Amino acid sequence: MTPLIDGLQYANWSEKIFRQMRAGGVDAVHVTITYHETFRETVQVIERWNRWFELFPDLIFQGRTAADVSRARDTGRTAIFFGSQNPSCIEDDIGLVEVLHTLGLRFMQLTYNNQSLLASGCYEDTDSGLTRMGRAVVSEMNRVGMVVDMSHSAERSTLEAIEHSTRPITISHANLHSWHPALRNKSDTLLRALGQSGGFLGLSVYPHHLKGGSACTLQDWCDMVARALDLVGPRQVGIGTDLCQDQPDSIVEWMRTGRWTKTVDYGEGSADAPGFPPMPAWFHDNRDFGSLRAGLKAAGLDLAAIDGVMGGNWHRFFEISFGPAEMPQTLSRRAVG
Amino acid sequence: MTPLIDGLQYANWSEKIFRQMRAGGVDAVHVTITYHETFRETVQVIERWNRWFELFPDLIFQGRTAADVSRARDTGRTAIFFGSQNPSCIEDDIGLVEVLHTLGLRFMQLTYNNQSLLASGCYEDTDSGLTRMGRAVVSEMNRVGMVVDMSHSAERSTLEAIEHSTRPITISHANLHSWHPALRNKSDTLLRALGQSGGFLGLSVYPHHLKGGSACTLQDWCDMVARALDLVGPRQVGIGTDLCQDQPDSIVEWMRTGRWTKTVDYGEGSADAPGFPPMPAWFHDNRDFGSLRAGLKAAGLDLAAIDGVMGGNWHRFFEISFGPAEMPQTLSRRAVG
């Protein structure tokens, strides 16, 4: 049986949520551990996770390889894979890529909305593409086995990341701009390029990414899934819910403004609705993946496609993504010398 | 064939020294990566090691488990095991014990000469034993599999560490005070307690720890090895050379004074001889372990004892020390909850 994998969550973690993941049969989740945090602050979050792993060994454990997804399934637990939504955690220091990979970081976004040291975010007026450090860091991420995630990046930067990366990249949580023209959703051009490069798209159920917002119907969403499979590739699409369960609104403020501005930035929200939007009726928490599966069936997807979207596709992507790059030893010295 | 292991070095690392380790047939070394460095500074040193591992994969790799010693032997390389000579690297944060263990730290001294947050160093006037945080950190080190090293600690603190630790501890680099009454050498009382608890002693060739200093004869040193085997136990003694090859004298200043004083502290040196002392004639670098072996044979040790001292004993100690503590899952939640 294929595993159930969610390609992005940032919940206010608790035993309750860990138990809901078990109730929902979720075998693995890519969890965001850091946005604008420095390296040291990111390590403090890892310490908190280490405590949760120690306290709840019957519910969760840290995922490091694709095999951990199967281990989770076999032992009735959820494997937690770490990711970052911004490169603040590596500061200005490329050596931290390997250090954080050793600590379990398996995904890193090159930007979160704004310009970073590596690339341009999707909210910038000017998209200047990958920076010098951006190219160097993508190569280092390729070497150690950390996935380049461009969910919050601008289009040219994303196309350049696809071009420069020697391993497939991901957009772990976004939808089709042609379905719902939100700033964070991605153009068909970009998604075709992603697919042709072997890259991966995780589809979001975060209301700002949905046609009709919180009122979006499950059928509408599932029709979009079918279009995404055509655009990107039948084995290159999965789910990345962007579930932010139980978070106070102060957290969405942190996501949007970090420490980079003294004024309010509403991001995908507005002055009238600055907080987290209400979730759609058909997806509230980790117990609701069954309704997504039922919706995909009702939309006419065949069983293989449904299994792929629900986790099989992410699992294959994990298999090719988390290990060190294969590089002839004779090359390795020259390449870094 | 039993492996050759050195239980402590702090060289000014270079390709030259890595090649000398191969020439000397050294299978594994516990290397000091940090003294007074903060966590972030320690991570920078780890980054430097990661570069060396990347640049010289045919000479060295990072050791994490006892099995890596055999792998080093089988592939003609040296396994590098990280250690800290002071707990500065965990700052005031017990969560950093597991983080640093994940990054490969396998040994940590609770003190370096001075009082630390954890225990008293051997240069303090008053030895107040393990602190509250000291007891908590020893338990955490026991849990994750990081060896408590008391080489630079005071006697009461060391006895309390032996008592409090549920796993054997080490004095990785020191000699017998009854042989040479240096402040850093250890009393027979302490070494008997260490042996009875299953602990481990690594014997030093650093001149300040030697009878007669740099003029100490190999025969004298080997006679002390035989006494140590009697005192501590035939399978609980190895070598911890304390080799500081190619280091400038500024480094011994850093070791002694870190950032804790504005005046000069000569430590084991003196105003007349503030720098590193000259090594004894029979041990200059990693190519000289053969002379130690020959000396032990000349001193009348049998082959099994010699193999044990040269590395077999450390290897067994590594086997029981670097993995997580075995703890029933039912206990684990209660113990930390």
- DSSP string covering B274-332, please? -SPPPPPTT-SSGGGHHHHHHHHHHTT--HHHHHIIIIIHHHHHHHHHSSPPP--HHHH
Q: Are B292 and B217 in contact (CB under 8 A)?
A: no
CA–CA separation, A20 vs B209, rounded Å? 60
Give chain B's mean pLDDT.
95
ipTM: 0.90
pLDDT at B327: 63
Of B46, B56, B57, the CB nearest to A99: B46
CA–CA separation, B176 vs B201, rounded Å? 10
Give chain A positions within 8 Å (CB) of B336.
51, 54-55
Least confident of A113-127, A251-265, B67-81, B288-302: A251-265
Average of pLDDT values for A309-325? 98
Q: Are A30 and A240 in contact (CB under 8 A)?
A: yes
Q: Which residues of B206-235 are buried (b: 16+ CB within 10 A; e: fewer)?
A: bbbbbbebeebebebbbbbbbbbbebbbeb
Give chain A positions within 8 Å (CB) of B57.
329, 332-333
| Closest residue, chain A, to B49 (C-alpha) | A95
Instruction: pLDDT band for B289, please (50, 70, 90 cuts).
Output: very high
A309 Cβ neighbours under 8 A, 6+ residues apart: A203, A225, A229, A237, A238, A239, A296, A301
- Is the pLDDT at A161 greater than 60? The verdict is yes
Average of pLDDT values for B297-320? 98
* Cβ contact, residue pair B57, A98, below 8 Å: no
Q: Which two tokens stand for residue A50?
A: 């280490």
Residue of A96, A142, A146 to mutate when probing chain B, most B C-beta within 10 A: A96
* Cβ contact, residue pair B51, A336, below 8 Å: yes
User: DSSP secondary structure string, B106-148?
Assistant: EEEES-SSS--SSS-BTT-S------HHHHHHHHHHHHHT-EE
| Closest residue, chain A, to B58 (C-alpha) | A329
Any idea which residue has 């420069």 for tokens?
A164
For B111, left (φ over 0), alpha (ψ -120 to 50), or beta?
A: beta
* Cβ contact, residue pair B47, A102, below 8 Å: no
* Cβ contact, residue pair B99, A103, below 8 Å: yes
Q: Which two tokens stand for residue A232?
A: 């990107």
pLDDT at B326: 81
Average of pLDDT values for B211-237? 98
Give chain A positions within 8 Å (CB) of B95.
44, 47-48, 50-51
Residue span of the structural domain in which A76 resides: 5-336
The CB density around residue A181, as the number of other CB atoms within 10 Å, is: 10
Q: Which residues of B160-195 are buried (b: 16+ CB within 10 A; e: fewer)?
A: bbbebbebbbbbbbbbbbebbebebbbeeebbebbb
* Cβ contact, residue pair A332, B39, below 8 Å: no
Of A47, A102, A333, the CB nearest to B95: A47
Distances (CA, A) of A158 to A111, A114, A133, A281, B165: 10, 14, 15, 32, 52
Give chain A positions within 8 Å (CB) of B56.
333
pLDDT by residue (tens digit) across A36-47? 999 999 999 999
Of B44, B57, B104, the CB nearest to A329: B57
CATH number at residue A233: 3.20.20.140
CA–CA separation, A251 vs B289, rounded Å? 58
Give chain B positions within 8 Å (CB) of A48.
95
CA–CA separation, A267 vs A260, rounded Å? 13
Q: Are B269 and B275 in contact (CB under 8 A)?
A: yes
Q: How many domains, in total, are found in chain B?
A: 1
The CB density around residue B139, as the number of other CB atoms within 10 Å, is: 17
Any idea which residue has 């792993």 for tokens?
A53
pLDDT by residue (tens digit) across B100-141? 999 999 999 999 999 999 999 999 999 999 999 999 999 999
| Closest residue, chain A, to B46 (C-alpha) | A99
B93 touches chain A (CB under 8 A): yes
A5 touches chain B (CB under 8 A): no
B102 touches chain A (CB under 8 A): yes
Instruction: pLDDT band for A326, please (50, 70, 90 cuts).
Output: confident
CA–CA separation, B253 vs A96, rounded Å? 29
| Closest residue, chain B, to A329 (C-alpha) | B57
Q: Which residues of B296-316 are buried (b: 16+ CB within 10 A; e: fewer)?
A: beebebeeebbbbbbbbbbbb
A59 touches chain B (CB under 8 A): no
pLDDT at A331: 43
Q: How many residues does chain B have?
A: 337
B44 touches chain A (CB under 8 A): yes
pLDDT at B329: 44
User: Coil, helix or strand for B199?
Assistant: coil
pLDDT by residue (tens digit) across A217-246? 999 999 999 999 999 999 999 999 999 999
Average of pLDDT values for A202-231? 98
User: DSSP secondary structure string, B216-274?
Assistant: --HHHHHHHHHHHHHHH-TTSEEE---B-TT--HHHHHHHHHTTT-SS---TTS-SSS-
A54 touches chain B (CB under 8 A): yes
Contact map slice: B 276-335 vs A, CB within 8 A: 329, 332-333
- Is the pLDDT at A337 greater than 60? The verdict is no
Instruction: pLDDT band for A327, please (50, 70, 90 cuts).
Output: low
Binning chain A into helix, strand and coil, the percentages to the nearest 5 are 45, 15, 45
Of B93, B103, B336, the CB nearest to A102: B103
pLDDT by residue (tens digit) across A255-299? 999 999 989 888 889 999 888 999 999 999 999 999 999 999 999
* Cβ contact, residue pair A43, B96, below 8 Å: yes
A93 touches chain B (CB under 8 A): yes
Percent of chain A with pLDDT over 90: 92
